[in-house]
Structure 1
Amino acid sequence: MTDNDEPVVLLDSQHRPIGTAPKATVHTTDTPLHLAFSSYLLNDEGELLLTRRALSKVAWPGVWTNSACGHPLPDEAPADAARRRCRYELGVEIHDVTLLLPDFAYRAQDASGIVENEFCPVFSARCAGDLHLRPSEVMDSRWVSSGDLLTAVAATPWAFSPWMVAQLQRLQAEGITESWPGLA
């Protein structure tokens, strides 16, 4: 099974599973609501990993975003999906996975007309080891301080993925960006 053949869990308006569809068919100009996750990785210096989406991505190619995103497989817990996708996209193991926003959802349309429509729990995690980026997923990455990231997103929100901008606004409003979990 290729990455584009993986099933994406489709959801009803109450965020209950109602079926699956191949990933390659889900992201269109009329994307159905589906299950996803977002993750923010932290290093030992307390920096966050930003990634730049590969130019071959269907939605938001070349845009800077949070560390890793993806879709849980049927019957896969979102935290387990985050571990799997961090291994796949970033070539790294993660630990201390912490659920930050259990009920985050958004809908956004990129310049090409492709829509994201996701119920998307948000996690933080610690990064264990060096990154080994998969070029088909990530074209670049940077470790940044939380303060620098918040300043950049406030000044130029259009330069970042809309889901990350919305997630950071909620995380900041809830005081989570002051002391990210796992940075004891």
Structure 2
Amino acid sequence: MANQDHVWRQSRDVVSFNDEPLVLVDQQDREIGFLDKQSAHQGQGLLHRAFSLLVFNSRGELLLQQRAEGKRLWPGFWSNTCCSHPRRGETLDVAIERRLAEELGMRCTTQFLFKFEYQAQFDAEGAEHELCWVYAGRSDDVPTLNLNEVSALRYISPVALDLELVEHPQQFTPWFKIEWERLRRDHAELFGSP
């Protein structure tokens, strides 16, 4: 668990709003409407467009974030570098650039890898039901934690992460576990080996 005691730069900008409109989609990722974020995550959740970004440094380590304790869904869980939703009228490229800057004060070039649908129930009142676009990027920028979104950061090698996911799967978000398994299976080029 490298870098857990590292002192990161911090901010407290408010960048998430319960009333921000999310893009509702069908299973073919066609837009079918818009709904505020809070309502889209109630009950079993309504299918909406989302993205996940995994940022690796020049040593091939992945930057993990621990979700802030104030998050409605999966607070305190470890997850991929950055994830969120495009807003109404916003392309995924713009949404990813915006959110990475808002949460971590970073920039990077991204590469689209795949998209997938999942539904994960957190509790009786809330769930994720997303059609999630997954991207990878590389950056050695020094992050700035937005404490409203992220409670901790750490870099980890892929092999060490594989072991943690086996030994402590309950500490990670459900979408990240799905993404990581597919990255390891289908995207060896990200890890510098065949």
TM-score between both structures, scaled by the size of structure 1: 0.89
> Are positions 1:3 and 2:13 aligned together?
no
Q: Which protein, 1 or 2, shows the higher relative CO under an 8 Å CA cutoff with sep ≥ 6?
A: 2
- Which consecutive unaligned segments of at least 5 residues does structure 1 have? none
What does the per-residue CA deviation read over 1:100-141, in whole Å, with 9 as the maximum and x for residues that have no partner? 11x211110114642100000100012252110100100001
Cross-structure match for 1:17: 31
Which AA in structure 2 matches 1:156? Answer: H
The CA distance in 2 between the partners of 1:179 and 1:151, in whole Å, is: 20
What does the per-residue CA deviation read over 1:59-81, in whole Å, with 9 as the maximum and x for residues that have no partner? 10110000000001223222321
Q: 2:137 aligns with which of 125, 128, 137?
A: 125
Bigger shift: residues 5-14 or 118-127:
5-14
Question: Is the 2:44–2:121 contact (alpha carbons within 8 Å) kept by the matching residues of 1?
Answer: no
Cross-structure match for 2:154: 142
Question: Is the 2:52–2:133 contact (alpha carbons within 8 Å) kept by the matching residues of 1?
Answer: yes
Q: 2:43 aligns with which of 29, 37, 40?
A: 29
Question: Is the 1:79–1:123 contact (alpha carbons within 8 Å) kept by the matching residues of 2?
Answer: no
Question: Is the 2:106–2:144 contact (alpha carbons within 8 Å) kept by the matching residues of 1?
Answer: yes
Q: How far apart are residue 28 of structure 1 and its match? A: 1.4
Q: 2:79 aligns with which of 65, 77, 90?
A: 65
What's the RMSD between the two structures over aligned residues? 2.0
Q: Give the direction of change, closer, same or farther, for the CA distance of 1:107–1:128 in structure 2 (3 Å limit).
A: same
What does the per-residue CA deviation read over 1:4-41, in whole Å, with 9 as the maximum and x for residues that have no partner? 13211011232211111122332112310000000001
Q: Give the direction of change, closer, same or farther, for the CA distance of 1:49–1:112 in structure 2 (3 Å limit).
A: farther
TM-score between both structures, scaled by the size of structure 2: 0.85
Cross-structure match for 1:167: 179
- Which consecutive unaligned segments of at least 5 residues does structure 2 have? 1-13
What does the per-residue CA deviation read over 1:120-176, in whole Å, with 9 as the maximum and x for residues that have no partner? 0100012252110100100001000111111211222211000010111111221x2
Question: Is the 2:15–2:102 contact (alpha carbons within 8 Å) kept by the matching residues of 1?
Answer: no
Question: Is the 2:21–2:35 contact (alpha carbons within 8 Å) kept by the matching residues of 1?
Answer: yes
Cross-structure match for 2:118: 106
The CA distance in 2 between the partners of 1:111 and 1:140, in whole Å, is: 24
> Are positions 1:45 and 2:45 aligned together?
no
Give secondary structure in 2 for the equivalent of 1:21: strand
What does the per-residue CA deviation read over 1:82-106, in whole Å, with 9 as the maximum and x for residues that have no partner? 11110001111122x01111x2111
Give secondary structure in 2 for the equivalent of 1:180: helix
> Are positions 1:158 and 2:170 aligned together?
yes
What percent identity do the matched residue pairs reach? 36
Bigger shift: residues 15-24 or 55-64:
15-24
Question: Is the 2:58–2:140 contact (alpha carbons within 8 Å) kept by the matching residues of 1?
Answer: no
> Are positions 1:82 and 2:96 aligned together?
yes
